[in-house]
A and B are shown apart, each in its own frame.
Chain A
Amino acid sequence: QSALTQPPSASGSPGQSVAISCTGTSSDIGGYDAVFWFQQHPGKAPKLLIYEVSKRPSGVPDRFSGSKSGNTASLTVSGLQAEDEADYYCSSYAGSSNFRIFGGGTKLTVL
């Protein structure tokens, strides 16, 4: 099972919105509403931002939103803040044997 495809980098100025895409196949993203997004700051553990395509855990600001169309999922960060500068990973359920695959990560830079 190949990894999901994310752009290696994205950027935006404070206050702007940025969207990060995550492309898979009908065997993962397109086949299930089980897409997750994680934020990882340098030297830290990943943090769950979005689960089941568009749901936010308690404590995650509503500036973070998720969506899916076909085999592509997206994470949108609105009202960019300096602390949003981090690596972002998408993940999808990929069947009972492979279970979960990740994207290669996108480094978000706040200009």
Chain B
Amino acid sequence: DVQLVESGGGLVQPGGSLRLSCAASGFTFSSYWMHWVRQVPGKGLVWVSRINSAETSRTYADSVKGRFTVSRDNTKNTLYLQMSSLSAEDTAVYYCTRSDWFDYWGQGTLVTVSS
């Protein structure tokens, strides 16, 4: 079965940094585009970033461009999101999701930016 498990969330101060991970299993991770999507609790979904299978193409939402970096390690079947210069507006549950269809999702990891 396809599984995506996020980790790395937590409480961070404004201006701080955090790295999220997404461990994938049950499919050939190296064959798929992967994405990050976030959701402020009680609010809607917002696409954050995507990366292609070979790490040669990355795209970011305007709201995180220059602050977030998406990467992956196909030998470890793991997707990453390095987040820096965090602000309260980045507080959300962060989901990793597979393919441009978003056909499988992890359970999410909560990032809270607060002093």
Instruction: Tell me the A residues contacting B by CB distance below 8 Å.
Output: 3, 36, 38, 44-48, 51, 57, 89, 91, 96-105
Q: Are B44 and A36 in contact (CB under 8 A)?
A: no
Assuming the contacts A36-B101, A36-B102, asked whether A89 and B47 have C-beta atoms less than 8 A apart, the reply is: no
- Of all A-B residue pairs in the complex, the 4 with the closest CB atoms, nearest first, are A45-B105, A100-B47, A102-B45, A105-B44
- Minimum CB–CB distance from B1 to chain A (whole Å) comes to 12
Q: How many residues of B contact A (CB 8 A)?
A: 19
Q: Is the CB of B47 within 8 A of A51?
A: no
Give per-residue flags for B9-53: 1 if the beta carbon is below 8 A from chain A beta carbons, else 0. 000000000000000000000000001010000001111001000
Q: CB-CB < 8 A to B108: which residues of A?
A: 45
Among candidates B44, B50, B95, B106, residue contacting A103 with C-beta atoms closer than 8 Å: B44
- B residues at A contact (CB < 8 Å): 35, 37, 44-47, 50, 59, 61-62, 95, 101-108
A-B contact pairs, 6 of them (CB 8 A): A36-B102, A38-B102, A99-B47, A101-B47, A102-B45, A102-B46
Q: State which of B59, B62, B106 has its C-beta within 8 Å of the C-beta of A96.
A: B59
CA distance A100 to B48 in the complex (A): 9
Given contacts A45-B105, A51-B101, whether A102 and B95 have CB atoms under 8 Å apart is: no
Check B47 against A102 for contact (C-beta < 8 Å).
yes
Query: What is the minimal beta-carbon distance from B111 to any residue of chain A, in angstroms?
Result: 16
- How far apart are B44's CB and chain A's nearest CB, in angstroms? 5
Query: Chain B residues with Cβ under 8 A from A91's Cβ?
Result: 45, 47, 102
- Candidate in A36, A44, A51, A100 with the most chain B CB atoms within 10 angstroms: A100
B103 near A48 (CB under 8 angstroms)? yes
- Given A89-B45, A96-B59, A105-B44, check contact A48 B102 (CB 8 Å): yes
User: A36–B37 Cα gap in the complex (Å)?
Assistant: 14
Measured in the bound complex, the distance between the Cα atoms of B50 and A96 in whole Å is 11
Residue of A nearest to B59 (CB): A99
Docked complex Cα distance between A46 and B38 (Å):
11
- Output the least CB separation between B24 and chain A (Å): 14
